[in-house]
Amino acid sequence: MAYRDLRSYLAALEERGKLKRVRKEVDKDWEIAAVCRQLFYKIAPAKRPALMFERIKGFNIPLVAGVLGASREIYAIGLETDTVEGINRKWDQALEKPIPPRIVKSGPCKENILMGDKVDIRKLPVPIWTVGEDPGPFFTSPYVITKDPETGVRNVGTYRMEVKGPNKTGFLIGKVQDAAWHVKKNDDQNKPTPVAVVIGADPSIGYVSVSKMSETLDEFAVAGGLRGEPVELVPCETVPLEVPATAEIVLEGEIPANARELEGPFGEYTGYMGPAGQHPFFVIKCMTFRNNPIYQAFISQRPPSESSCIRGIGREWPLFKHLKYVLNLPVRGVRLKEAGGSGAYVVVSLKKQFEGQVKQTMYGIWSLRSGFGKITVVVDDDIDVWDDFAIDWALSWRVRPDRDVYIERDIQAVGLDPSQAPPSVPQHHPSRVVGSRVAIDATRKHEYPAISLPPKEHLDKVAAQWKEYGIED
Ligand SMILES: Cc1cc2nc3c(=O)[nH]c(=O)nc-3n(C[C@H](O)[C@H](O)[C@H](O)COP(=O)(O)O)c2cc1C
């Protein structure tokens, strides 16, 4: 049975030892970020739990972090499976057979309704993430719901929100994002964009919120496909939008037409501060929430992080399918390395059939609008894309730099890439729009000598009788 809400999912995580409760009182303005960072430094992914901070100084709402992606194991539990293959199957099923949401009259998210002046988002324990650099607290896990004003198709996306007052936040919505188009279409008609923001919901909604899919798909239907049951939606109180009935917290309001304000800077998924700039903002008219609501945050900033984990998983499989089944390239493995925020650095393994296929592969990756692969490495299929040492070995001995390195100039850049421009240059400045990419062909281009290792049968034999050598207890 699908998780009904964030709470039932947290119970499932706790049952598997994947949720730890922090009972010590913590300060949201410095301590939560530091604890989350140490969680990634101190605990290897396979053992790393998600966290619930139960006592936050000055607040009576607990905060959970890492619950969608402190590790790949946790992501799998979120999708009620236990392997990467299981995750991929769930995504296939969701995209092939989306299940439309069901509209219901009411739900737990309406247990408390605050209108107008009563709204005060400063009562939520929104942390400061990069202390001394961020201008204040930021929501990192908002599920931002908008509708295409022309087609009416719903979208859910995660775009950072800077707390700017009791009923106001900033937004950073990248130019390629679906919501950016909704705002633009409304701006062109000088109309405000209705927005609903969900904090805390069943995990399928978070996974679609951070994943790219066709703008013609209702992302709640994809979430339904992921969980195997329709998402129940309730109409908002003040805007013509619908939100999950079991959401923990909902903020309703609008982005005023053609209005911009200073937003940022913010410690970003690249591991550097993202620049401040003039951006749309969100005016909140109504806040609804469950009794004893739970606040959810994504752990982001310098990778590895929850952000790089969930981005990577949601993107690798679609990229693999695009290369293999749309472009018919003999691709064996695709990895978006977390150091590159699961986007900038791509490794692909190929059972190369003829010279030239490496270039087809690199252009196949570069042609996607998501801007993947500023650094693209293509290896042979004997190299495991998950083995860093093997990748470095291929780069060291299968590359002749004067022949095997391709640089593509004047191609779409990632605006938050700190190598594009200094911090004083705002986010959507032209110098951040166009950049360059490099591909390294680390495949063999001619016959290679034998590999200098003991024969496989000798290694297998020794492995089978390893204990007899008395080397390890
Ligand atoms: C933790 C986290 C924070 C993110 N913050 C932003 C953001 O501030 N702005 C943005 O444009 N994309 C951000 N993204 C990426 C988008 O959520 C992602 O591209 C998603 O596909 C956007 O939804 P859309 O495709 O429906 O537009 C973030 C992703 C994660 C995992």
Q: Are the C-beta atoms of 232 and 102 separated by less than 8 Å?
A: yes
Is the CB of 178 within 6 Å of ligand 1? yes
Residue 212 lies in a domain: yes
Secondary-structure percent of the chain, ordered helix, strand, coil, rounded to 5: 30, 25, 45
Residue 461 lies in a domain: no
Give the torsion through C-alpha atoms of 79, 83, 86, 91, to 10 deg: 60
With 90 as the cut, is the pLDDT of residue 429 above it? no
Is the CB of 428 within 6 Å of ligand 1? no
Cα(146)–Cα(154) distance, rounded to whole angstroms?
A: 6
pLDDT at 46: 93
User: What's the CATH number where 140 sits?
Assistant: 2.30.110.10
pLDDT at 464: 98
Distance (Å) from CA 217 to ligand 1 centroid:
17
The CA-atom distances, in angstroms, between 402 and each of 190, 257, 399, 441 are: 53, 52, 9, 11
Closest approach atom of ligand 1 to CA 160:
8
Q: What are residue 39's phi and psi, to 5 degrees?
A: -55, -40
Average pLDDT over residues 214-242: 97
Mutate to test the pocket of ligand 1, among 177, 181, 219, 370 (most ligand atoms within 8 A of CB): 177
With 90 as the cut, is the pLDDT of residue 352 above it? yes
Between CA 127 and CA 134, with CA 130 as vertex, the angle to 5 degrees is 85
Range list of H helices, 97-171? none
Mutate to test the pocket of ligand 1, among 210, 219, 315 (most ligand atoms within 8 A of CB): 210
Distance (Å) from CA 210 to ligand 1 centroid:
5
Distance (Å) from CA 401 to ligand 1 centroid:
35
Q: What are residue 398's phi and psi, to 5 degrees?
A: -120, 15
pLDDT at 175: 85
Average pLDDT over residues 443-472: 97
Provide the pairing of β-strand 345-350 with 375-380. Answer: parallel
Please give the sequence-ordered ranges of beta strands (E in DSSP) within 39-126, or none if there are none. 50-53, 63-65, 102-103, 112-115
With 90 as the cut, is the pLDDT of residue 212 above it? no
Q: Are the C-beta atoms of 314 and 323 separated by less than 8 Å?
A: no
pLDDT at 473: 79
Residue listed under structure tokens 């707390």: 163
Q: How confident is the model at residue 462 (pLDDT cuts 50, 70, 90)?
A: very high
pLDDT tens by residue, 295-336: 999 999 999 999 999 999 989 999 999 999 999 999 999 999
Beta bridge partners of 154: 147
Provide the pairing of β-strand 143-147 with 273-274. Answer: unpaired
**Do 421 and 384 sit in the same domain of this protein?**
yes
pLDDT tens by residue, 112-126: 999 999 999 999 999
pLDDT tens by residue, 13-44: 999 999 999 999 999 999 999 999 999 999 99
With 90 as the cut, is the pLDDT of residue 142 above it? yes
**Do 271 and 310 sit in the same domain of this protein?**
no
**Do 264 and 319 sit in the same domain of this protein?**
no
* Closest Cα to atom 22 of ligand 1: 157
Taking the mean position of all CA atoms in its chain, how far away is CA 81? 19
Residue listed under structure tokens 């950049």: 435
With 90 as the cut, is the pLDDT of residue 426 above it? no
Average pLDDT over residues 384-400: 98
Is the CB of 147 within 6 Å of ligand 1? no
Average pLDDT over residues 337-355: 96
For every residue of 135-196, DSSP letters joined together read SS-EES--EEEEE-TTT--EEEE---EEEEETTEEE----TTSHHHHHHHHHHHTT-PEEEE
Q: How confident is the model at residue 199 (pLDDT cuts 50, 70, 90)?
A: very high
User: What's the CATH number where 398 sits?
Assistant: 3.40.1670.10
Q: What are residue 440's phi and psi, to 5 degrees?
A: -115, 120
For residue 142, give every residue at least 6 positions away whose Cβ sits within 8 Å of its Cβ, in sequence order, or none: 158, 159, 160, 161, 197, 198, 199
Distance (Å) from CA 342 to ligand 1 centroid:
12
* Closest Cα to atom 25 of ligand 1: 212
**Do 283 and 319 sit in the same domain of this protein?**
no
Average pLDDT over residues 200-226: 95
Q: Which helix (H) or strand (E) holds 364?
A: helix 357-366
Cα(223)–Cα(225) distance, rounded to whole angstroms?
A: 5
- Enclosing domain of residue 193: 85-292
What does the longest C-alpha to C-alpha distance in the chain come to? 78
Residue 396 lies in a domain: yes
**Residue 7: left (phi > 0), alpha (psi -120 to 50), or beta?**
alpha
Residue 344 lies in a domain: yes
Taking the mean position of all CA atoms in its chain, how far away is CA 303? 12
* Closest Cα to atom 18 of ligand 1: 210
With 90 as the cut, is the pLDDT of residue 130 above it? yes
Cα(341)–Cα(184) distance, rounded to whole angstroms?
A: 27
Collapse the DSSP code of 363 into the 3-class scheme (helix H, G, I; strand E, B; otherwise coil) and give the result: helix
pLDDT at 176: 84
Q: Are the C-beta atoms of 50 and 18 separated by less than 8 Å?
A: yes
Distance (Å) from CA 159 to ligand 1 centroid:
5
Q: Are the C-beta atoms of 97 and 225 separated by less than 8 Å?
A: yes
**Do 283 and 365 sit in the same domain of this protein?**
no
Domain boundary, last residue among 266, 292, 318: 292
Domain boundary, last residue among 292, 326, 355: 292
CA atoms within 13 A on the CB side of 442: 25
Residue 455 lies in a domain: no
**Do 135 and 199 sit in the same domain of this protein?**
yes
With 90 as the cut, is the pLDDT of residue 342 above it? yes
State percent of the chain over pLDDT 70.
100
Cα(143)–Cα(217) distance, rounded to whole angstroms?
A: 16
Mean pLDDT value across the chain: 96
**Do 385 and 266 sit in the same domain of this protein?**
no
**Do 181 and 257 sit in the same domain of this protein?**
yes
Cα(465)–Cα(273) distance, rounded to whole angstroms?
A: 52
Residue 361 lies in a domain: yes
For residue 400, give every residue at least 6 positions away whose Cβ sits within 8 Å of its Cβ, in sequence order, or none: 445
What DSSP state is assigned to residue 192?
P
Which segment of 153-162, 283-292, 310-319 scores lowest on mean pLDDT? Answer: 310-319
Residue listed under structure tokens 């390195």: 405
Give the count of beta carbons closer than 10 Å to the beta carbon of residue 54.
14
- How many domains does the chain divide into? 2
Distance (Å) from CA 389 to ligand 1 centroid:
31
